Chain A
């Protein structure tokens, strides 16, 4: 295996973990997903086309494995577990509220349908363009647009209902 390929893989690991965390919910499940993706990528390294985005290729692999897992388990998480919500040790009230708000975001994300969650993570969290997200999800750009819109509206509604959005705004204004 060429060192450069592994180096690229290691470089993109933090983002793969973030993406997988959003998809799978828990830390262990997410890391299992990333590990499986690494192994698959290495096994299929010859399929990667030089000149194309390596991160997009890896996102696609992670997504494919995740979908396979969902199908095989016939499981859709209703609410992400709280395992990875540790964002710091500061015990101040504001910090605690911020932590709660971020936790609510993850829970709200976990309640979205899988395809909406995927679109939201690729575009809003990972910063990919609609076109890039569409290629990874293997759907038309219009489908990504509609999934994103439904996801963003639903997420906002959940956060407003839970108060996370207001706490976040208050926190930002306090700073």
Chain B
């Protein structure tokens, strides 16, 4: 029987190879649309159900009642809640060409390879025991047949089963998993084979279930009765553990590398998720439907101490249904192989993209565009990684020797990959999450998981000493692996989950809040979080200096020449250029990088393009430089602005100066015409009277004397006018020589009044002599000249019947103020400014050149004071202000 079992197994494997091969061929020819149907996708998700669930669910039901159901209910929750999380992850995965969960997390956090390496290592540590578990299950199930069958041939060694299985799986995985470097990283052959395996394992389990319910139990009613009567009914109900398993299985469904592979990477169409959202729950429901009946039957039928993990095989065998048992074996075998294949592909992609390739890239200083075939190197590194991972699983099994420790590794592995959850969900929903936070969270979660769950699972003194287990690390009791911080009495899984996930999340959030992301992270963060807003263009290449030819050469080595040429051709067409060499625009570099990322991962693709382009997309330095330039330009522009405003100001000043000059010129013309006019009048009369004197002989002495007097008067007037003009010009030019001397104001005014010698009828002067006894230091004659002028003006222009001039003197701060107020009509408002100008006369009543006040103003300016008209005093009022010594 063992021989036939081996034969059937080999035949099954052969069928798998054929199916995979056929599917690959169909896909390569672009046919076989059923390969991309949502149901194939849904069935491929069944890699979740491994041999551990195929055999182990029954064992778990026999030992712990309903607990196994929680492992199926978690994924059900995730799938029917696909609109929340899965849809977004799949959209991100497709738009960013994500190749693995490590790639997703590293891409999100600025394509940081250190994060990718950490995730990869964690995934390998968490998955290797799981692979060992699958190998063990195949060995155990195989051995189950040995017990009941005839002695085997000498050729067979039971221990070598695992070895041959591992070898065969490595061969299959390398053959179909690294057949090509598809830009989309989809493996139609593998996926189709997995779908077939999904059908086989489901039918196998359902067949055993139907056999148990209708053949062994005798019908559904009897089955229910048997269930209630069995010892399983006394299952331990631990609410914490139930919820914990529900959570951890839901988390693992997204975060397990193999689940991520089939769920996101192999996803052909987002719409398939909608189908899977209900179809996959049906699948797992059917998988778990007969678990309890089989367990009950096993407990009933089989002797005490029989391994409940093998009830699926041993119950049919005990009833002599060898064929069914063999079918069940094939079911378990498919469950084991599908898990190992997908896990190996997922892990090898991660190891190759994030560990091997970066090391190779760093170690090879050669120019990528002329170096060897990168494509071949990627493939080799994948193949090597697959072999390595399976070898790890195999040696893990050999070293630990299997047993109970391995059986519990399923949930432990789930809890390990659940540590990816905060960084992953935080990354797609929270823009501020950064790589420091992610790294801190991942490491802390991983360390706590290893310390509280993974290491103790090997038993005392295996990997962690008994002393630490019982007394805590360094003898600190609050550091005991199963009672951290003194939290005792919890189920070990729940305990580890609570601490690892909560501290992981806490570290992730706190470090993200307190540190600063680099520009790349912020760009990627925005693209991930808002993936539905735009069809996601990842971080940009700031300048496309790359030689298109070099890029084409490199791309051909990574994604194959046909595919690469197609991309370049398409891009060239898009740019409206013939041939295969488009301009290396940032947009093109971005698209190309994403295509390459599908084969070698985002970080590696980025590094490769960077090597050719000569710069890594947007570094902080770049931004700084850009910011610097911007600052310089802004500086320059502000300088320009200042200069321009200066120019405007100067122009305005020039305009003003020009206006002033024009005004001055007008004034000068007016002055000249005034002077000519003033000079002409007396000259005319002098000429006229001198002609009379000359020509008219018969003038008597009186007349002659009269005319000579007129001529004399006019000459005096002319002389005075010329004196005034001269005086004014000297004053205006500042060439006047002042004779500064000490004196008393009262003397100055006395002198001035005396000089004018007006009678009291002509002008009554009212003054307060006591106030005028003030010492002044000034040019006394000049001051007197001003006072005389003002008194004369008052006498001349005051229209009152009894003209009166009031002189008020007072001190006002640093000035001496002299007010001359008469009782006339004053100066009209519009003339008040003008009267200080040359030749301006308020009235035509009195004779005068109109230079008096102009001279006064110039004198006062030269004395450091001023003279102004004082309105609102009843009559004309002038104010003199002298600096007070």
Instruction: Decide whether A and B assemble into one complex.
Output: no
Residue ranges of B at the interface with A (Cβ–Cβ < 8 Å):
none
Chain A residues within 8 Å of B, Cβ to Cβ = none
